[in-house]
Amino acid sequence: MMSHAEFAEHLAALRLPLSEAAILLGVSERSVRRWSEEGVPGPAAAAVRAWRSLDERHLPWKPNSIPALMAEEDQLQRMRQHDDLLNQVMREVESRGGPANPWTVDLEMGRAKFGNAEVGFYWLDGGGFSPSTYRRLDRGPSDSDKPEIQDAVYCIAKAFARARAASAPLSEVAVYIRKYDEFFVSKGPEMMTPVARARQRLAILNQADRLDRLAQSAAEGRATYRQFEDILSELHRLGFYPETSLVSSVARAMVG
């Protein structure tokens, strides 16, 4: 038996939503949701623990998945060190006019998707990424899929580059907040007390601290626009509205 807390921790580490866990375990999503509240029975618990063990070794664990670039282990090692293979892949994709398809990259979940294909990747210490697995939902992988894998790697690299480019604009928003933290919109006709006003300013400044941390994450390729939107929503809730040009700069850097 696995506790619901351990189950949630494993799913988070595996970047696996409940709906996908249900498919992989061969049960209904309703059952998985019940397990997330009450605990997981023996066979399913054993499967989840096995997946986690394989994932921690950067080995394929999803059905029909294979190691990305599996025929080039020495080059994969170089990819993990941010050198020749990544540059080679980028050049090859650009030489044929860019990716054939627009892969959707989810930095938080560590995967890129297009249609029935999925490429998983891991963050590396100090920034960067390493592609880990390639899988298809419609058939088994084949040697002819190499250009598709390269396209995915290219799109992942571009997503990391956008995240890094957002570091400076994010820091600029944080500087703006600290400069104008006293100018916020208060709700209701009554004037805020000095204590309430001080608390409001402190809450606004806390968001500047969050932005600084996000800017650092961006420098390592780990930031997402969704995280920025969460901070922006909290600022709006507090009655503080950064200049539109600053917000647009972040959006251009992170979304394009």
pLDDT digit string, tens, across residues 163-186: 888 899 999 999 999 999 999 998
Q: Summarize the confidence of residues 97-122 as an average pLDDT.
A: 90
pTM above 0.75, yes or no: no
* Residue 239: predicted pLDDT: 94
pLDDT surpassing 90 at residue 78: no
Specify the pLDDT at position 75. Answer: 44
Q: How far is CA 185 from CA 74, 76, 181, 194, in A?
A: 58, 53, 11, 15
Give the per-residue pLDDT at 112: 94
> For the segment 7-20, what is each residue's pLDDT rounded down to a tens digit?
888 888 888 888 88
Residues 6+ apart with CB under 8 A from 75: 69, 84, 85, 88
C-beta of residue 110 within 8 angstroms of C-beta of residue 122: yes
* Nearest CA-CA partner of 241 in 183, 201, 171, 194: 183
**Is pLDDT of 30 > 50?**
yes
* Cβ–Cβ < 8 Å for 13, 52: yes
**Domain positions in the chain:** 4-56, 65-159, 166-254
Extract the tokens encoding 220. Answer: 């390592």
**Other residues' Cβ atoms within 10 Å of the Cβ of residue 150:** 22
pLDDT greater than 80 at residue 64: no
Over 90: is that where the pLDDT of 24 sits?
Answer: no
Residue 59: per-residue pLDDT? 57
pLDDT at 109 > cutoff 90: no
pLDDT of 221 higher than 80: no
The residues, ordered by sequence, that sit 6+ positions from 185 with a Cβ below 8 Å of its Cβ are 239, 240, 241
Which is more confidently placed, 75 or 177? 177
Contacts by 4-7, CB closer than 8 A, 24 or more apart: 4/35, 4/36, 4/37, 4/38, 4/39, 4/40, 7/35, 7/36, 7/39, 7/40, 7/45, 7/48
